[in-house]
């Protein structure tokens, strides 16, 4: 029986602020899961600490609302242990690009087949609005005593430099686009990163929903707002690195993505920036060492027989150590 949206909802009260981008992200995630129609028990969902972290409690699948900055290694551990699970991980911009940024970089190197979505609103919401690593230099959002003294990290560029094989960006209030982007990310065979631009109605009074939709810059003729966000796919942008491409062709795709990642302000691209289908996944690499990895994974192989005797028979290891 096909999955219904209602199957993916829990009864837990959603305690985000009214107008929070997290509502759009939650709806999109549920849409994506429904449309992918993966049995609920096959999904494992992770989140970190911050406003975003509660998303797991609102989605009716198993998983873990983890520690600040550490959602990724928990998620990776689950995926490595049972490669047949579909693993989705949510993180915040402070959570995933501040305290947990090291894990982000190393996840790129491994290319484990899972999805990592970062809620990016430029502030630490749950601790009342401090600057997050993605807030631009000199910006002074509502609760900052002084303008931001740090430059911002560019998550798309960082993902590219870290070897991430699927890099996309979407917008919390374009739920259709976000759901489709999440689906593409899930279907990608490798580590997929989705940066989700998200207004914080309480603490980010600069990059607001109105700002993203261009309320402040109306078309002089139609008087309609001109949204800042535009879709890469509508421009015919091709992010794909296909099998068999030369290194030079791959570098060209990277340069193109890096260039697009610099656009901000009046023109903010969303969509898939880069997708590399030619790099081996971590599971492929493990299979070279452990041929039974997918059929007898760490989580699913028998470890005991006959009521508790070890399944391991180490006689041949002992031969090398015995005197």
Partner 1 sequence: MKDESFSWVIGGPQGSGVDSSANIFARACAHGGLWVFGKREYHSNIMGLHSYFQVRVSEKELRSPVDRVDLLATFEEETLVRHAAEVVAGGGILYDPAKAAKPIEEIETWHGFAKEHVLERLKGEGLELTVAGVLKEAEKRGVKLFPVPYTDLVNQLSAHYPEKQLSKLTRVVNVVAVAASLALVKFDRAPLDDAVRAIFGRKPEIAEINVFVADRTYEYATQHYPGGLGRTLTTRASPRRLFLMGNQAVALGKLLGGCRMQTYYPITPASDESEFLEAHEVFDAVPAAKLPDGKGSILVVQTEDEIAAITMATGAALAGTRAATSTSGPGFSLMCEGLGYAGINEIPVVVTLYQRAGPSTGMPTRHEQGDLRFAMHTGQGEFPRILLASGDMEECIYDAARCMDYAERYQLPVIHLVDKGLANSNSLVPIPDPSRIRIERGGLVQSLPATDPPYKRFAFTEDGLSPRAPFGVKGALMWNTGDEHNEFGHIDEDPENRVKMMEKRHGKVLLAAKQIPREEKVNVFGPPDAAATIVSWGSTKGAILDAMASLAEEGVRLNFLQIRMVLPFPDDVVRDVLSKAKRRISVEMNYSSQMAGVLSERTHLSMDTEIVKFNGRPMTHNELHDALKRAAAPGAPQRMVLTNGS
Residue choice 52, 103, 184, 253 for contact with partner 1 (CB under 8 A): 103
Stretch that binds partner 1, among 63-71, 146-154, 165-173, 195-203 (CB under 8 A): 63-71
Residue choice 37, 146, 221, 306 for contact with partner 1 (CB under 8 A): 306
Question: Could you give the CA distance from residue 186 to residue 188 in angstroms, rounded to a whole number?
Answer: 5
Instruction: Tell me which residue of 228, 227, 234 sits closest to 272, measured CA to CA.
Output: 234
Residue choice 5, 12, 161, 187 for contact with partner 1 (CB under 8 A): 12
Judged by CB under 8 A, does residue 149 bind partner 1? no
Instruction: Tell me which residue of 290, 67, 237, 264 sits closest to 152, measured CA to CA.
Output: 264
Long-range contacts of 143-152 (CB under 8 A, 24+ apart): 143/203
CB of 258 to partner 1, least distance (A): 24
Residue choice 138, 218, 267, 291 for contact with partner 1 (CB under 8 A): 291
Of 79 and 184, the one with the shorter C-beta distance to partner 1 is 79
Distances in Å between the Cα of 189 and the Cα atoms of 90, 292, 323 are 18, 19, 48
CB of 236 to partner 1, least distance (A): 38
Long-range contacts of 39-44 (CB under 8 A, 24+ apart): 39/3, 40/3, 40/7, 40/8, 42/84, 42/85, 42/86, 43/85, 43/86, 43/87, 43/88, 44/75, 44/78, 44/79, 44/85, 44/86, 44/87, 44/88
Residue choice 54, 119, 177, 260 for contact with partner 1 (CB under 8 A): 54
Residue choice 5, 137, 210, 296 for contact with partner 1 (CB under 8 A): 296
Site residues (CB under 8 A) for partner 1, limited to 192-221: none
CB of 41 to partner 1, least distance (A): 5
Beta strand 62-65 with 43-47 is: parallel
Residues in contact with partner 1 by CB under 8 A are 10, 12, 39-42, 44, 46, 49, 54, 56-57, 60-67, 70, 73-82, 84-85, 102-103, 105-106, 286, 289-293, 295-296, 298-306, 308-318, 320-323
């Amino acid at each position: 029986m096909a999955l219904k949206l209602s199957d993916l909802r829990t009864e837990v009260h959603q305690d985000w602020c009214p107008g929070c981008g997290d509502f759009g992200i939650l709806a999109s995630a549920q849409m994506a899961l429904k449309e992918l129609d993966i049995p609920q028990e096959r999904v494992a969902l992770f989140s970190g600490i911050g406003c975003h972290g509660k998303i797991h409690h609102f989605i009716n699948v198993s998983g873990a609302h983890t520690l600040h900055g550490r959602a990724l290694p928990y998620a990776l551990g689950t995926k490595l242990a049972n490669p047949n699970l579909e693993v989705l991980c949510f993180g915040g911009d402070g959570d995933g690009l501040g305290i947990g940024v090291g894990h982000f970089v190393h996840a790129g190197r491994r290319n484990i087949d899972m999805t990592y979505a970062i809620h990016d609103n430029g502030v630490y919401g749950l601790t009342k609005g401090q600057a997050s690593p993605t807030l631009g230099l000199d910006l002074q959002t509502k609760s900052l005593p002084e303008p931001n003294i740090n430059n911002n990290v560019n998550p798309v560029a960082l993902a590219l430099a870290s070897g991430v094989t699927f890099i996309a960006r979407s917008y919390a209030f374009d739920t259709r686009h976000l759901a489709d982007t999440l689906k593409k990310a899930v279907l990608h065979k490798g580590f997929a990163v989705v940066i989700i631009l998200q207004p914080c109605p309480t603490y980010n009074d600069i990059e607001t929903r109105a700002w993203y939709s261009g309320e402040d810059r109306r078309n002089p003729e139609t008087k309609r707002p001109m949204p800042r966000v535009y879709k890469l796919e509508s421009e015919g942008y091709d992010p794909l690195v296909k099998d068999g491409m030369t290194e030079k062709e791959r570098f060209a795709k990277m340069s193109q993505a890096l260039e697009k990642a610099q656009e901000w302000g009046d023109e903010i691209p969303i969509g898939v920036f880069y997708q590399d289908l030619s790099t081996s996944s971590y599971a492929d690499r493990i299979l070279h060492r452990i041929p039974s990895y997918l059929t007898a994974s760490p989580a699913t192989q028998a470890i005991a027989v006959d009521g508790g005797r070890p399944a391991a028979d180490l006689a041949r290891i002992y031969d090398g150590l015995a005197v």
